[in-house]
Structure 1
Amino acid sequence: MSFPKLIVPTLLTPTLLGFDPGRDKCGVAVVGLDKALHYHQVISSPNVSATIQNLRETYPISSIVMGDQTRSKQWKKQLGNLPNAPRIVLIDERYSSLEARDRYWEMYPPKGITKLLPRSLRSIPRPIDDIVAILLVERYLNRLSGED
């Protein structure tokens, strides 16, 4: 499953990699310390290591912020084995999928007749694991700044 990539110039300030671990698919997002979104995508689980390595060549990723639920122990071990592995921080991901549904509609407002439907009746047309990854980074940054 592939979604368009955001193309941005190489950044000089540190960024964080949000990672929503899963069995078959995972969400990744690169977010700046200022909460600016630089990249997000849903990827198949077998492609995680290669994708993260490619992102680390493009962005100055200082840490991986990972959800603490589904298969997090296995993923933490696997990502810890990457060459020059960045620090991995586990974040509580409870209710993140519900929050991601709301964020999806903020990022991609409905068009046409769909915007007349209540949010609870709208169907999201794609996986939102990447949006969960964004929210995990935001939760981490909020915790650091005391906004939690």
Structure 2
Amino acid sequence: MAIDPGRSKCGLVLSDHNGLELLAAGVLPAPACRTQIHTWAAAQQCHTVLLGNGTGSAPWRQWLEQLPLKLLVVPEAGTTLAARRRYWQLEPPRGWRRLLPEGLRLPPRDVDDVVAQLLLERHLQRPLQRSHCRWLSGADAAA
């Protein structure tokens, strides 16, 4: 599991145990993210969590250290721009967006989940597949 932490929202991804494929990804409000992490930890769906060291990571680190998970704090340097590029690889631009140079394209949604994916991929030193990835929403974490 990897988290791109924030004060109000977080990117969260969960990979399979082999680290080959993403099982779930989303951009969640912070309380829903905490609920989802508790759910995965209780179900033993993950044993290690990667936490980006960016803005807002200190409170997350304190909270995660209380859980029965191995915590690894990883550098976030350069992930925001890399996530924009990766977003367009995952979701190729359509319509008029195809005509814009890549540097001028802004994704139409938050890409915190893509940042979390990049953190996990950097740690694993390989790309992850998203072919069967379930999109998380705040409602999923509340269920």
The answer to whether 1:54 aligns with 2:39 is yes
Q: CA deviation at 1:47?
A: 2.0
Match of 2:140 in 1: none
Flag structure 2 segments of 5+ consecutive residues without an equivalent.
127-143
Q: CA deviation at 1:103?
A: 0.5
Separation in 1, partners of 2:66, 2:19: 28
Match of 1:68 in 2: 53
**Alpha carbons of structure 1 residues 109 and 57: separation in structure 2 relative to 1, 3 Å:** farther
Separation in 1, partners of 2:91, 2:111: 12
The answer to whether 1:99 aligns with 2:82 is yes
Match of 2:111 in 1: 128
Higher relative contact order structure (alpha carbons within 8 Å, sequence separation ≥ 6): 2
TM (norm. structure 2) is 0.79
> What is the number of equivalent residue pairs in this alignment?
125
TM (norm. structure 1) is 0.77
Cα pair 2:10 2:30 within 8 Å, conserved? yes
Separation in 2, partners of 1:102, 1:121: 11
Match of 1:27 among 2, 11, 16: 11
Identity across the alignment (%): 35
Separation in 2, partners of 1:56, 1:114: 40
Separation in 2, partners of 1:44, 1:107: 23
Flag structure 1 segments of 5+ consecutive residues without an equivalent.
1-16, 144-148
